Amino acid sequence: MTSIFLKYLQYEKRYSPHTITSYQNDLSQLEQFLEYNYPETPIVEANHAILRDWIISLSEKGLNENSINRKLVTLRSFYKFILKKGAIEKNPVTKISNLKTKKGLPQFVRENDMSLILDQNLVEDDFIGRRDHLIIELLYGTGIRLSELINLEEGKIDFINQSIKVLGKRNKERIVPIARNLNSLIQKYIFVKNESFNGNVCNYLIVSSKGRKSYPMMINRIVKKYLGGTTVDKKSPHILRHTYATHLLEKGADLNAVKDLLGHQSLAATQVYTHNSLGKLKKVFDQAHPKA
């Protein structure tokens, strides 16, 4: 039943390969738990008490609340699917609530630090140097997600109108403007890339040292290297997305516009960045207002 569910996510829900892999891993972990603790209970017969037992075991192993809640999303989706298919008569996840989490504000890199990171003088003038630098410029200059960067094709770049067409979550496309300097950097990089591989390279913008499509571990490694001197805890591509949104709002960008640029479904997902911007506004108020 799990294989049918995963095909449903792929072909009907059109989830990304990364999301489908996460769902698959969650269900595999549950099946391993059942095999060890409830060997006579297949996944379709797991009841409310058994699933709660699995959630408790995850917590006891030190898995954080956010990760457990993400696995609950998988369970809800899976059991809702097999209920609809008539494989079960009752959804065992209905009465299982999310764990309470500590909601921290998204971390971001300070503007001065980003300026130092993007200093042109630090870029090595070869394919690898230009590629690595462009990855940081793209993530910070557009706010695109890791998967969107990896799947960005050269043909989706409009150099005349200075924009890129991004394929986001659930295969929804959006247009993201790019700055003039980033437009120029992309063109120079493509020239060096084609020269390095004699034109024998895939059509994805960011490629590996062998001219093949890039992959998450490669991008994460490059971002971690560039953000090494910053104070952010998790040096990941998503931090640069947070930084992009926060800096836009600090400069007075409209919240709805930032929402569209990020490809968020709802305004609530974007509003979290206003808290970071509020800190800067409070400093301005304290320094300038007579009654502060």
The whole-number pLDDT of residue 209 equals: 93
Asked if 275 is an active-site residue, the reply is: no
Reported as a single tens digit per residue, the pLDDT across 121-136 is 566 778 999 999 999 9
- Render pLDDT for 156-187 as a digit per residue (tens, 0 to 9): 999 999 999 999 888 889 999 999 999 999 99
Task: Give the active site residue among 130, 131, 133, 145.
Answer: 145
User: Annotated catalytic, 241?
Assistant: yes
**145-181 residues labelled b (16+ CB within 10 A) or e (exposed):** bbbbbbbbeeebbeeeeebbebbbeeeeebebebeee
Catalytic residue flag (residue 48): no
Q: Does residue 169 have an active-site annotation?
A: yes
Which parts of the chain register pLDDT below 50?
Answer: 292
**DSSP classification of residue 213:** B
The pLDDT of residue 292: 46
What pLDDT is stored for residue 280 in this prediction? 58
Q: Has 130 been annotated as catalytic?
A: no
Catalytic residue among 241, 242, 247, 259: 241
User: Which one is catalytic: 48, 76, 169, 213?
Assistant: 169
- Please compute Rg for the chain using Cα positions: 23
Phi, psi of 122 (to 5 degrees): -90, -5
Residue 291 has a pLDDT of: 54
Q: Is 226 a catalytic residue?
A: no
For strands 173-177 and 163-167, give the pairing: antiparallel
- Exactly one of 264, 275, 283, 291 is catalytic; which is it? 264
HSE of 245, CA atoms in CB hemisphere, 13 A = 30
